[in-house]
Amino acid sequence: MKLYYSPGACSMSPHIALQEAGLPYDLVKVDLKAKKLEDGSDYLKVNPKGQVPAVVTDSGQLLTEGAVIVQMIADKAPGKNLAPAHGSDERYRLQEWLNFIGSELHKNFGPLFQPVLSDDTKQFFKDRLMGKFKYIDGALAGKDYLMGNHFTVPDAYLFTMLAWADRMKFDLSEFKNLTAYKTRVAARPKVQEALKAEGLLKAA
């Protein structure tokens, strides 16, 4: 399997999932502005969407949507319990979390990365995001992870969004469940390995 990524981008979510799954994979770094790979080749020839993540499976199939990619990764390593069984109530709950993170967090972060937007516009989206984080904080009450006491692939996605919140200087200190959760996920050895591979671990 081959994962096309950019450091700290939403491709971190499947990167963490691959580490947690213990599956063999190759990392290919993408310059998202230039749409080029490190060897200078055109990334748009790999993924016409021009975004990350993109995964080329062992069978040669290209997948380009993070919520689908992480479920595929989980299904290829069933012994790791990164996703409940297909057709189960819990699998639909997992998909609900993936959709919520994608539509309510990920898409609301997008405008914050646009230098052409005004500070007032960005504040609007920041306020929306704080409301979503408040909801998640409540949902995490009494739980170690989104699905309960076991790490699953939506946790990799949420952790990536929390890393973006750090980058954007969000103050999430009032959300005690969420901040404890972020520390818990960050301490996982496989998460640390993914961060190290992307050059994102701060020097001690």
Domain boundaries, the chain: 2-80, 89-191
Alpha-carbon span 196 to 198, nearest angstrom: 5
- 44: tokens are 């748009």
Find the mean pLDDT for residues 114-135.
97
Alpha-carbon span 204 to 155, nearest angstrom: 25
- As beta bridge partners, residue 36 has 31, 42
First to last CA, the chain: 32
Q: Residue 150: its pLDDT value, please?
A: 97
- 142: tokens are 């009494």
CATH classification of 2-80, choosing from 1.10.3720.10, 3.30.110.40, 3.40.640.10, 3.40.30.10?
3.40.30.10
Alpha-carbon span 138 to 148, nearest angstrom: 13
CATH classification of 89-191, choosing from 3.40.50.410, 1.10.1380.10, 3.30.70.1290, 1.20.1050.10?
1.20.1050.10
Q: What Cα–Cα distance (Å) separates residue 20 from each residue in 14, 74, 128, 193?
A: 10, 9, 31, 10
Whole-number average pLDDT of the chain:
96
Rounded to two decimals, what is the model's pTM?
A: 0.96
Question: What are the backbone dihedrals phi and psi of residue 89, each rounded to the nearest 5 degrees, phi first?
Answer: -60, -35
Alpha-carbon span 202 to 171, nearest angstrom: 20
Per-residue pLDDT reduced to its tens digit, 38-79: 999 999 999 999 999 999 999 999 999 999 999 999 999 999
- As beta bridge partners, residue 26 has 2
Q: Residue 38: its pLDDT value, please?
A: 95
Rg (CA), the chain: 17
Q: Which of 23, 151, 166, 174 is nearest to 94 (CA)?
A: 151
Per-residue pLDDT reduced to its tens digit, 149-185: 999 999 999 999 999 999 999 999 999 999 999 999 9
Alpha-carbon span 198 to 30, nearest angstrom: 12
Alpha-carbon span 143 to 62, nearest angstrom: 35
Q: Measured at the alpha carbon of residue 194, what is the angle toward residues 192 and 196, in degrees to the nearest 5?
A: 70
Alpha-carbon span 195 to 186, nearest angstrom: 9
DSSP-based three-state secondary structure for 90: helix
